[in-house]
A = this chain, B = another copy of it.
Amino acid sequence: MAQLIEELFAAAFDNEYLAQGNDGAVLAMPSAGGRLVMATDAHVVSPLFFPGGDIGCLSVHGTVNDVAVMGARPLWLAASFVLEEGFPLSDLKRIVESMANAAKSAGVSVVTGDTKVVERGKGDGVFITTTGVGVLPKGLDLSGNKATPGDVILLSGTIGDHGMAIMSKRENLAFDAPIESDTAALHGLVADMLASGSGIRVLRDPTRGGLATTLNEIAKQSGVGMQLDESSIPVRPVVDAACEFLGLDPLYIANEGKLVAICAPEDAGGLLAVMRAHPLGRESAIIGTVHADPHHFVQMKTRFGGRRNVDWLSGEQLPRIC
């Protein structure tokens, strides 16, 4: 079994680093180096396979995106697997191949890995932790604490798709139009945005806890308030309907292929055009602005012209959404 798994990984992730055959991979720093970005994510999504993706590609996208939104070019991934005894090798193969394809598309190599097996009932199929390292260009300094009053908030597309794809599958909901996860690697979109020379101050991918949580985090980190315009936030009608049916708010639902960007007002138009020109940013929109606010509130003008606080999530987040 151990040997089968090893052969599976070796075949799927085939690269010069894994071929070194040691417990750690030796990596040559690109000469551009100077600073690195490191990010890690545990993936425990349930079900393992869902419309639009699976835990394999998700585990690559999740970490690639965490590295990319820091402005870094993702280069290397480490992958660790916790398998439940009896997990079908055919499922593992499908997952590993999905990871390998996602890594290839994202231009990253899975350079090292580890697998552990736990007894039946002590795990749940497979959990995958990926850790990514990327190289950060000189002079670039994006961070959640850089939002400034007057700045404009952009979003790269519709919200709630990933979380509602998982929930629909879990609840066996069927809609006329299927809800698919938006899971995708955002490194290319980020690269275009950075290359445009727009004065981006903050980039972040609104995953667990959704757009509302991400914006509250940034507001707190930067010590500012935000004003959103609900009518400008793209939500697919089917996602909206599913949310209403399940009593959920799309603002709090996880995304896996979207990003939030915050920039100076004079850069917003140009940045929006660059984002819309990328396949993963076609539905990008300006969704709000940053204000001075000692309470760091995120507020929203509703579709009906009212105004409400978009607060931190008060209850529990949806479990095992990523």
Interface residues, chain A, with chain B CB atoms under 8 Å away:
2, 20-29, 33-44, 46, 66-67, 69-70, 72, 76, 78-82, 111-119, 121-124, 127, 129, 131-134, 136, 143-145, 204-205, 221, 317, 319-320
> Chain A contact residues: over half helix, strand or loop, or mixed?
strand
Q: Which residues of B contact A22 (CB under 8 A)?
A: 70, 143-144, 204
Q: Which residues of B contact A27 (CB under 8 A)?
A: 35-38
**Bound: A127/B144 CA distance, A:** 29
**Bound: A42/B28 CA distance, A:** 25
Q: Which residues of B contact A34 (CB under 8 A)?
A: 28-29
Is there contact, CB below 8 Å, between A41 and B114?
yes
Q: Which residues of B contact A20 (CB under 8 A)?
A: 143
Is there contact, CB below 8 Å, between A40 and B131?
yes
Is there contact, CB below 8 Å, between A24 and B39?
yes
The 4 A-B residue pairs with the shortest CB-CB distance in the complex, in nearest-first order: A24-B39, A131-B131, A40-B78, A129-B129
Is there contact, CB below 8 Å, between A21 and B144?
yes
* Residue of chain B at shortest CB distance from A84: B122
Q: Which residues of B contact A317 (CB under 8 A)?
A: 2
Minimum Cβ distance to chain B for residue A27 (Å): 5
Is there contact, CB below 8 Å, between B145 and A21?
yes
* Residue of chain B at shortest CB distance from A41: B114
Known: A24-B72, A70-B24. A40 touches B123 (CB 8 A): no
Q: Which residues of B contact A23 (CB under 8 A)?
A: 39, 66, 69-70, 204-205
Is there contact, CB below 8 Å, between A116 and B78?
no
Is there contact, CB below 8 Å, between A124 and B124?
no
**Bound: A37/B205 CA distance, A:** 28
Q: Which residues of B contact A44 (CB under 8 A)?
A: 82, 116, 118
**Bound: A129/B115 CA distance, A:** 10
Q: Which residues of B contact A127 (CB under 8 A)?
A: 82, 116, 118, 123, 127
Minimum Cβ distance to chain B for residue A125 (Å): 9
Minimum Cβ distance to chain B for residue A186 (Å): 12
Is there contact, CB below 8 Å, between A35 and B40?
no
Is there contact, CB below 8 Å, between B42 and A35?
no
Is there contact, CB below 8 Å, between B35 and A116?
no
Q: Which residues of B contact A129 (CB under 8 A)?
A: 40, 42, 80, 82, 114, 129, 131
Q: Which residues of B contact A29 (CB under 8 A)?
A: 29, 33-36
**Bound: A161/B9 CA distance, A:** 31
Is there contact, CB below 8 Å, between B38 and A118?
no
Is there contact, CB below 8 Å, between B122 and A118?
no
**29 residue pairs from A and B, CB less than 8 Å apart:** A20-B143, A21-B145, A23-B204, A24-B66, A24-B67, A24-B72, A24-B132, A27-B35, A27-B36, A28-B34, A29-B33, A29-B34, A29-B35, A29-B36, A38-B131, A39-B112, A41-B114, A42-B82, A42-B115, A44-B116, A78-B131, A82-B127, A116-B320, A117-B319, A118-B320, A121-B121, A122-B124, A123-B123, A133-B133
